[in-house]
A and B are shown apart, each in its own frame.
Chain A
Amino acid sequence: MSSTTKKITTIEPASRFSHFDLQELWSYRELAVMMMLRDIKVRYKQTILGVAWAVIQPLTTMLIFTLIFGRLAKIPSDGLPYPIFVFSGLLAWNFFSSALAAGGTSLLSAGGMISKVYFPRIIVPLASIGVSIVDYLVAVLILFSMMIYYQIAPTLQLLWMPVFLFGLAMTAVGFCSWLSAVTVTYRDFRFVIPFMVQIWMYVTPVIYPVSFIPEAWRWVIYLNPILGWVQGIRSSFLGLPIDWLAIAISFSLTIIIMVIGLRFFEKAEHRFADVI
């Protein structure tokens, strides 16, 4: 046995300048995938309706919104049929909100594991996005069926969709890493998340178009970091003009949110096992 070739592990106190060990993170990629698959399998096994649930939920929301906002409140929809307008927005929004809800409490749910096993903690909020991605893909199939019904042909712009979705996912990762770390220390923070998410939907142009907001107040709407992504996803599906200003703002804000969120997580992660 050549003991000199063996890997040396060093354990030291947490330094103020600790950073993610990217090499180590890479070596744990299988675990991240396993956790993601586990969440997805559990999600679709546990409910009686299984995948049907991922269909029923957004469809029902779409119908209710169409009835209330489209028919009763007569909110404009940029010349598109309201159902497809609202659904293409809901698709992106549901992805973001379910990622926030799952990611924000992900560390708490993994509490038992965190206090008993070591692995890079950031895997937990990262893997929690998996379920939202699958739900999103199911919703995309519904959207395509609706496009066939309303006879809207996809354009080459559709190629932008994965890019914008990635941007949206990164915004979610930034927020989740911060939220999940905060909820570990302040348990009750998890009650704030649904509240926050609810308000957030109404300030995002999901059920109404940006043109619905008076010109003078439009800049406020643009401060929303997910505006560009949500609009971009809708535009790329339905072939609407892409608002590149909104994309540029969302891109910048997403970078800032990710840096702050991940940095916060880095500094907090060594405490998790002690307080969870």
Chain B
Amino acid sequence: MNQIEDNIAVSVRDLSKEYMLGGVEQHYDSFRDLLLGMASAPFRRKEILSGKKKENLFLALDGINIDIPEGQSTGIIGRNGAGKSTLLKVLSKITKPTSGKVKMRGRVASLLEVGSGFHPELSGRENIFMNASILGMTRQEVLRKMDDIVAFAEVEKFLDTPVKRYSSGMYVRLAFSVAAHVDPDILLVDEVLAVGDAKFQQRCIGKLGEAGQQGRTVVFVSHNMGLIQELCSHTIYLKDGKVESYGETSSILPQYFRDGVENTGVWIQKDESACLRAVRVVDADNNNVLSIGYDQQCRVQIDIRPNRADKDFVIATRLVDELGRDILTSWDTDTLVRTTEIGRLYRVECEMPRGLLRPGRYFILIMIRNSNHGYLDQIEETTLELEVSNLGFTMNNGRFGVVLPTLKWDVSEL
């Protein structure tokens, strides 16, 4: 067990991580509170450590065992609080595990954020050196790769300008470009791809995909199932700090989607402070349904209580099929101009046209996103399962495709 097996890049054994809740960190409002707090701190900690306050302990990771072979691109998925980020932080050596052991073979680079150590007053070039040395590159290496880094980021002209004068897009491109040029054996990536404009994201994805093809081991945490599917041959599904399942992505994703679904036909948010409150599917007569006929129309009802200003967030309905393939996504901004106030309850509805979806099982994901930067704010959650039945389905076998819209045709003599 002390030895790492050949051709295994990452080996995780009985890994656990405990966090203390509300134990150590306290806020003092006055100097007196500070002194009192300092005087009583040792006792408070002792209480917690001696187990008197067991309820303050939170197991973020609970006995994780994983082997990742060399060259495998592995996704890590799970709901909020499942332990994905904690696992990545332990692998990156940022935080120490409470028990267990990890062994990794080769040079490790972790990208938990882009632009670590960037300083707005420094020029692009200076920041490249700073950031690169944080990521473990030597000065020689940076000098050698400087041209590539700059070209990838498309900031040639501004290399000696302080980055505070950069647009946010340039800033992110430069930061990611440095990260993308670290040449590790094992690459640990958090959701850093959810930045920048779409075109640049696409190139980042390409770069990551390349990394996978070059025999590099990539571990990728994401909420974006589409990306996981595109980049990762295998996926680890974490649930409550444990490995729920680990296998080929094509077999894990459907399980993940099915898992979040409640079969009562209504999904209700438990977290009181969240913006998204409830989701249900109703038919034309406003009945809550689990299944809808192929030729029937239905609506997805989304109850929200905004916790931020209108323009700051957008809502989307996303449909995924049983294999985890994205079928469609529609943003409320497509056709809706919303004026909602913070703290009030609203119902937003999205109409699914009839005769579009091939009979089968689908999962409805609701996404609430920060509209400014594309950063995920409220994470995409599987809310409901929707069955499209054969009812009214009369198509013949020759009709291929994921969706079955009937398109408008025309003919005219020339």
> Which chain A residues have a beta carbon within 8 Å of chain B's beta carbons?
1, 3-4, 6-14, 30-31, 34-35, 38, 41-42, 45-46, 112-119, 185-189, 191, 270-271, 273-275
Residues of chain B in range 242-296 having any CB-CB distance to chain A below 8 Å:
none
Contacts A30-B139, A116-B113, A186-B41 given; indicate if A13 touches B100 (C-beta within 8 A): yes
Known: A38-B122, A117-B135. A11 touches B19 (CB 8 A): no
Closest CB-CB distance, B371 to chain A, in whole Å? 24
CB-CB under 8 A for A10 and B103, given A113-B116, A117-B116: yes
A45-B121, A273-B95 given; A188·B34 CB < 8 A: yes
Of the 9-residue stretches B20-28, B223-231, B388-396, which lies at the interface with chain A? B20-28
Cross-chain contact B101 with A12 (CB below 8 angstroms): yes
Whether A41 contacts B97 by the Cβ 8 Å rule is no
**Complex CA–CA separation, A232 to B70 (angstroms):** 59
Say which residue of A13, A186, A187, A191 sits within 8 Å of B96 (CB atoms). Answer: A13
Q: Does B170 contact A (CB under 8 A)?
A: no
Cα(A124)–Cα(B90), bound, Å? 21
Known: A41-B121, A41-B122, A186-B41. A8 touches B4 (CB 8 A): yes
* Residues in B whose Cβ lies below 8 Å from that of A116: 94, 112-113, 116
Kindly state the separation between the CA atoms of A117 and B94 in the bound complex, as whole angstroms.
Answer: 6
Q: What are 14 sample pairs from A and B whose C-beta atoms fall under 8 A apart?
A: A8-B105, A9-B108, A10-B102, A11-B104, A34-B134, A38-B126, A42-B121, A45-B162, A117-B117, A118-B110, A185-B25, A186-B38, A189-B38, A275-B25
- Residues of B near A189 (CB, < 8 A) are 34, 38
Q: Is the CB of A11 within 8 A of B34?
A: no
Provide the bound-state CA to CA distance between A118 and B104, in Å: 15
Q: How far is it, in angstroms, between the C-alpha of A185 and the C-alpha of B92 when the chains are bound?
A: 22
B residues adjacent to A (C-beta < 8 A)? 4, 6-7, 19, 24-25, 27-28, 31, 34, 37-38, 41, 70, 89-108, 110, 112-113, 116-117, 119, 121-122, 126, 129-130, 133-135, 138-139, 162, 185, 215
Say yes or no: B96 contacts A14, CB within 8 Å.
Answer: yes
A13 touches B98 (CB 8 A): yes
Residues on the A chain within 8 Å of B113, using CB = 112, 116-117
Q: Are A42 and B122 in contact (CB under 8 A)?
A: yes
CA distance A11 to B100 in the complex (A): 9
Give the Cβ gap from B96 to chain A, nearest Cβ, in Å. Answer: 4
With beta carbons under 8 angstroms apart, the residue of B37, B89, B117, B129 that contacts A113 is: B117
> Closest approach, in angstroms, between the C-beta of B409 and any C-beta of chain A?
55
User: CA A23 – CA B59 in complex, angstroms?
Assistant: 33
A-side contacts of B102, CB under 8 Å: 9-12
Q: Which listed residue, B100, B121, B215, touches A1 by the CB 8 Å rule? A: B215
- For residue A121, give the distance in angstroms from its CB to the closest CB of chain B: 10
Assess the B101–A10 pair: CB atoms within 8 A: yes
Complex CA distance for A1 and B116, rounded to whole angstroms: 31
CB-defined contacts of A3 to chain B, threshold 8 Å: 6-7, 70, 105-106
Give the CA-CA distance A46 to B215 in the complex, in Å: 45
With A7-B107, A8-B105, A117-B110: A273-B133 Cβ-Cβ less than 8 Å: no
Bound complex: CA A1 to CA B105 (Å): 13
Q: Could you say which residues of chain A place their CB within 8 Å of the CB of B97?
A: 11-13
Known pairs A13-B96, A38-B126 / 18 extra A-B pairs, C-beta < 8 Å: A1-B215, A7-B106, A11-B96, A12-B96, A30-B138, A30-B139, A38-B130, A41-B121, A113-B117, A113-B134, A117-B94, A117-B116, A118-B92, A118-B93, A186-B37, A186-B41, A188-B28, A273-B95
Query: A31 near B96 (CB under 8 angstroms)?
Result: no
When A6-B106, A113-B117, A118-B93 are in contact, do A30 and B133 touch as well, CB less than 8 Å?
A: yes
Task: Output the least CB separation between A131 and chain B (Å).
Answer: 13
Return B48 CB to nearest CB of chain A, in Å: 13
Provide the residues of chain B in CB contact with A41, threshold 8 Å: 121-122, 126
Q: How far is the CA of A1 from the CA of B91 in the complex (A)?
A: 23
Determine whether the beta carbon of B103 is less than 8 Å from that of A9.
yes
With both chains docked as a complex, state the minimum distance between the C-beta of A276 and any C-beta of chain B, in angstroms.
10
